[in-house]
Structure 1
Amino acid sequence: MAELVSKLIINFCVAFGVVLGGAMLGGVAAVLTLQPPTAQMTTLAEKMKIWAVVASVGGSIDPIRYIETQFAEGQISLATQQILFIISAFTGAQLGNSLIQMICKGGTAP
């Protein structure tokens, strides 16, 4: 159980970091190219969410195939774990996006 929680936290943090770090560095790039940084950061954060989830859970379509294989073999608990990893990564990516939106637009996130 401890290993599962550990992997969930790691997936969450990796996805969160991809969105937050990518948007922040995109903001720096926007300043260097004389573009409005907040607009660039919010756009990048929104676009990076799916890539953050993919990077967090393994970087390919393999986790989806793994879920399919485990369901087909009747091993529901292993497939459920993989689904939890994806949900954890999505939550981290969404929180990172919401934080960037809140920072750039001020006030509360959408």
Structure 2
Amino acid sequence: MASFISKCLLDFLVAFGVVLGGTMLAGICAVLTLEPPAWRMASVAEQIKIWALVAAIGGTIDPIRAIETNFIEGHISPAIKQIMYIVCAFTGAHVGSTLIQWICKGGSNG
């Protein structure tokens, strides 16, 4: 069980870090190219979410294949674990994107 939670946390934080790191570097790029950093960062935060998910789960189709194989063979528990890893990675990417969106708004209510 500890291994499962550890992997879920790892997937969450890797996806979160990819979104955060990618958008911060996009903000630096915007400053260097004289663009509005908040606009560029908000845009990249939305675009990079799927890539953060892919990076967190391993970057290959193997996790999806593992779900299919385990499900077809009747092994539901490993399939559910793989789905939970994907959900954790998606949640990390979404939380990172939401955080960037919130920061780029400047905390305003609009």
**Could you give the per-residue CA deviations for residues 53-109 of structure 1, whole angstroms, max 9, x where no partner exists?**
010001012111110011011110000000000000000000000000000012279
Can you give the 5+ residue segments of structure 2 that lack an aligned partner in the other structure?
Answer: none
Equivalences, count? 110
Root-mean-square deviation over aligned CA pairs: 1.5
Aligned sequence identity (%) = 60
> Any idea what SS the aligned residue of 2:48 has?
helix
Q: In structure 1, what is the equivalent of residue 50 of structure 2?
A: 50
Can you give the 5+ residue segments of structure 1 that lack an aligned partner in the other structure?
Answer: none
For residues 36 and 2 of structure 2, what CA distance do their matches in structure 1 show? 44
Q: In structure 2, what is the equivalent of residue 19 of structure 1?
A: 19
Q: In structure 2, what is the equivalent of residue 72 of structure 1?
A: 72
TM-score by length of 2: 0.96
TM-score by length of 1: 0.96
In 2, are the aligned partners of 1:102 and 1:109 still within 8 Å (CA)? no
Structure 1 segments, 4+ long, off by >2 Å, are: 106-110
In 2, are the aligned partners of 1:101 and 1:109 still within 8 Å (CA)? no
